Amino acid sequence: GAGVSQSPSNKVTEKGKDVELRCDPISGHTALYWYRQSLGQGLEFLIYFQGNSAPDKSGLPSDRFSAERTGGSVSTLTIQRTQQEDSAVYLCASRLEPGRALNEQFFGPGTRLTVL
Amino acid sequence: AQSVAQPEDQVNVAEGNPLTVKCTYSVSGNPYLFWYVQYPNRGLQFLLKYITGDNLVKGSYGFEAEFNKSQTSFHLKKPSALVSDSALYFCAVRDDADSSYKLIFGSGTRLLVRP
């Protein structure tokens, strides 16, 4: 399909392990966002990519969280030494052109992360 | 600082009746406003947006929203609710002063339409 895809759909890990979450944006979308949806915090912004650079990382909750984007396409969100409070649904979104403010973001189905 | 408030955790309405889901916002610049809907185990689906122009915005699935600048509100409405409209609804705002164009979301309102 032509939408945003994310993998895996579900991830269960043990406390202290590292995890990688993947996002494939809509082809041609140069802006990419990661959000986190959790019971206690609602929907929170994590990081914004324009191309391969991340001019806004203000939402990353700690230095255990990092993200990269390669080739202006796929992005990976990495959480090191996972904690139980990291359990949430991680949503990725893409937008057509960052310079055109009128365009809405399109969201993927999310990755549900459970840290035991 | 940008913020969005959805004062109702849940809205209950009978099928065929009109529905309203409330949203108020706070931004430092001009607001760009959005409504998204989330069905169980699905991502967020875009419903409608207000950028500029007509205060009444029409979107997908018969939904509409009215931008009210003086009340800083952007309530979602539908004239006749369907059972299939039952889902979680999020209001979001983007401040045109924010160059990342990130969305700030409300806490969500669960809509339950009973047959």
Instruction: Return the DSSP state at A86.
Output: G
B10-14 and B109-114 beta bridge pairing: parallel
The Cα B62–Cα B79 span in angstroms is 8
Which tens digits make up the pLDDT trace of A35-89?
Answer: 999 986 789 999 999 999 999 999 999 999 999 999 889 999 999 999 999 999 9
B3-114 domain in CATH 2.60.40.10?
yes
CA torsion, points B15, B20, B22, B28, in degrees to nearest 10?
130
Average pLDDT of chain A, as a whole number: 92
Which pLDDT does position B95 carry in this prediction?
Answer: 83
Mean pLDDT of B77-92: 96
Are the Cβ atoms of B90 and A43 closer than 8 angstroms? yes
Question: How many beta-carbon pairs below 8 A join chains A and B?
Answer: 53
Mean pLDDT of A24-30: 92
Residue A29 CA to residue A54 CA, distance in Å, equals: 15
Shortest Cα–Cα distance, A109 to chain B (Å): 4
Cβ–Cβ gap A105/B103 under 8 Å: yes
What does the domain layout of chain A look like in residue ranges? 5-98
B15-20: long-range contacts, CB 8 A cutoff, minimum separation 24? B15/B81, B15/B82, B15/B83, B15/B113, B15/B114, B15/B115, B16/B80, B16/B81, B17/B80, B17/B81, B18/B77, B18/B78, B18/B79, B18/B80, B18/B81, B19/B77, B19/B78, B19/B81, B19/B85, B19/B111, B19/B113, B20/B75, B20/B76, B20/B77
Least Cα separation, residue B99 to chain A (angstroms) = 9
Q: How far apart, in whole angstroms, are the C-alpha atoms of residue A58 and residue A13?
A: 26
Q: Could you tell me if A7 and A112 are in contact, meaning their C-beta atoms sit under 8 angstroms apart? A: no
pLDDT digits (tens, 9 = 90+) for B1-22: 789 999 999 999 999 999 999 9
Return the pLDDT at A99. 55
Closest partner residue to A56 (CB to CB) among B94, B96, B102 is B102
For residues A40 and B55, the model is more confident at B55
Report chain A residues whose CB lies below 8 A from the CB of B107. 42
Q: Do B104 and A45 touch (CB under 8 A)?
A: yes
Instruction: Classify domain A5-98 by CATH number.
Output: 2.60.40.10
CB-based contact A95 B45, cutoff 8 Å: no
Contact (CB, 8 A) for A25 and A75: yes
Domain boundaries, chain B: 3-114
How far is CA A107 from each of CA A25, B7, B11, B45, rounded to the nearest angstrom?
Answer: 9, 24, 24, 7
Q: Do B43 and A45 touch (CB under 8 A)?
A: no
Of B44, B94, B108, the CB nearest to A107: B44
